[in-house]
Amino acid sequence: MEIRLDNVIKTFDTFRAVHGVSLTVESGELIALLGPSGSGKTTILRMVAGLEYADGGHIYFGDQDATDIPVRDRGVGFVFQHYALFPHMTVAENIGFGMSVSKVKRSKAEIAARVNQLLKLVRLEGLGDRFPAQISGGQRQRVALARALSVDPKVLLLDEPFGALDANVRHDLRRWLREIHDELGITTIFVTHDQEEALDLADRVVILKDGKIVQQGTPQEVCRDPKNAFVLKFLGDANRLIGEVRDGQARVAGVAVAAADGVADGPAEIYARPRDLDWSAAGPGVSATVSRVLDRPGERRVIATASTGELLEFDVDPERDITAGDTGFVTLRRAKVFAI
C-alpha cells in the first residue's frame, strides 16, 4: 500500500520535532529514514503508526486519510528497538497475540497454524514454547517481526530494529530482513541512525535533519550526488579542506579538482573521502605530517596534519610502511565541492 505524508508537523511542548515533512512511499517499497538523534525520524515513524498524532498535515494509506485513525485500527505492524515482547508469554503466544485480540475471530487451531507458519518464516521453528528471556537478542527481534506480521499489516514499521544487537548479528539480520521483504512485498519503513544499514537495506533513503527532509533518493543517488555537506558527512567519513573555485576548478594548496556545475567562483569547501586521498613521499600535493596510524582489517587509516592546519584522514594499503612523524604529500583523486 502506498503511504503518503503531506506536510506533517509535530511539536512536543515547545520543541518542534517535525517541520512539515512530505514524503511518498510507494507500494512494496523498502525505505529508510536516516538521521542523527533528534532529527525527527522516530517521531515520523510513530506518526505513521498512529502512536503519536500529527499536529498538522495528513497521512494517507492509499487513498484513505489515516491521520486520525487510532493505532489499534490502523493496521500497521510495528517493531520496537527493544523488541517489546510480552515477557510473560511464550514466543508462540507473543506471535499469536494479535490474532487472538483481533475483531476477526479465529479458532485456536487456525491461530496455531498461522503461528507455525510465521515461526517458519522467521526461521525459529521449535522455539515456540520458549519465553523471550530464554532466547537471544537476534531471535527476539525475529519474534517481534513475526508478531508484527501476524496481523497482516498494510505497512511494516521498524524503529531502529537492529540497534540493540551486536555487529555480526546485525549484519545477518539486515540481509535476512531484505529477503523477507522481497518475499512478502510489504511496504516497509525503517528508522536508523546507521548510514551503512540504511544504504545496505533500503530501496530509497530519506535523510533527515532537524525535523526536515534534507535529501531523498536511492542509495546510489545519495552517495554519488549528496545535496549538501551535511548529507555527505553523515553518509561517511570525509575530509574538509577550504579552497577557491575559479572557472569550474577548485584549488587547494596547489591541487586542483573539478567542481560541479553551479558552484560559483569564490571560497569553497572541498570534501574528499579517506579513500580518495593519495599519499606520496614526494610532491606534488598538500604537504602533511603523519600523526597516527590506525590499523584496520582491510587498510591502514592514516591521520595527518596538513601544512594548512587541517586534520586529514586517508587510507593506504595494508602493506604500506608508514609511521607517525613521516612527512609527505597528499593529493585528491576525487572530491565534492560546495560553495561556502
* 264 contributes a contact to other proteins by CB under 8 A: no
* 60 contributes a contact to other proteins by CB under 8 A: no
3-class SS at 49? helix
Options 69, 84, 223, 293; binder of other proteins; rule CB under 8 A: 84
* 43 contributes a contact to other proteins by CB under 8 A: no
Which of the stretches 34-42, 71-79, 107-115, 299-307 binds other proteins when contact is defined by CB under 8 A? 71-79
Residues ≥6 apart with Cβ < 8 Å to 218: 203, 204, 205
* 124 contributes a contact to other proteins by CB under 8 A: no
For residue 136, the minimal CB distance to other proteins (Å) is 4
Q: How, if at all, do strands 64-65 and 239-246 pair? A: unpaired
Q: Which of 13, 107, 7 is nearest to 54 (CA)?
A: 7
* 223 contributes a contact to other proteins by CB under 8 A: no
Which of the stretches 24-32, 49-57, 174-182, 213-221 binds other proteins when contact is defined by CB under 8 A? 49-57
What residues pair up with 78 in beta bridges, in sequence order? 157
Options 9, 51, 121, 303; binder of other proteins; rule CB under 8 A: 51
CB atoms closer than 10 angstroms to residue 273: 19
Options 150, 188, 192, 239; binder of other proteins; rule CB under 8 A: 150
Q: Are 46 and 216 in contact (CB under 8 A)?
A: no
Options 98, 128, 243, 274; binder of other proteins; rule CB under 8 A: 98
Instruction: Tell me how far apart the alpha carbons of residues 147 and 93 are, in angstroms, rounded to a whole number.
Output: 9
* 163 contributes a contact to other proteins by CB under 8 A: no
Q: Give CA separation, 252 vs 45, 291, 340, in Å.
A: 43, 21, 14
Q: Which of 25, 16, 23 is nearest to 58 (CA)?
A: 23
For residue 68, the minimal CB distance to other proteins (Å) is 16
Place of cell 498524532: 53
* 123 contributes a contact to other proteins by CB under 8 A: no
Residues forming contacts to other proteins in the complex (CB under 8 A) are 49-51, 71-74, 76-78, 80, 82, 84-88, 97-98, 101-103, 130-131, 133-138, 147-148, 150-151, 169
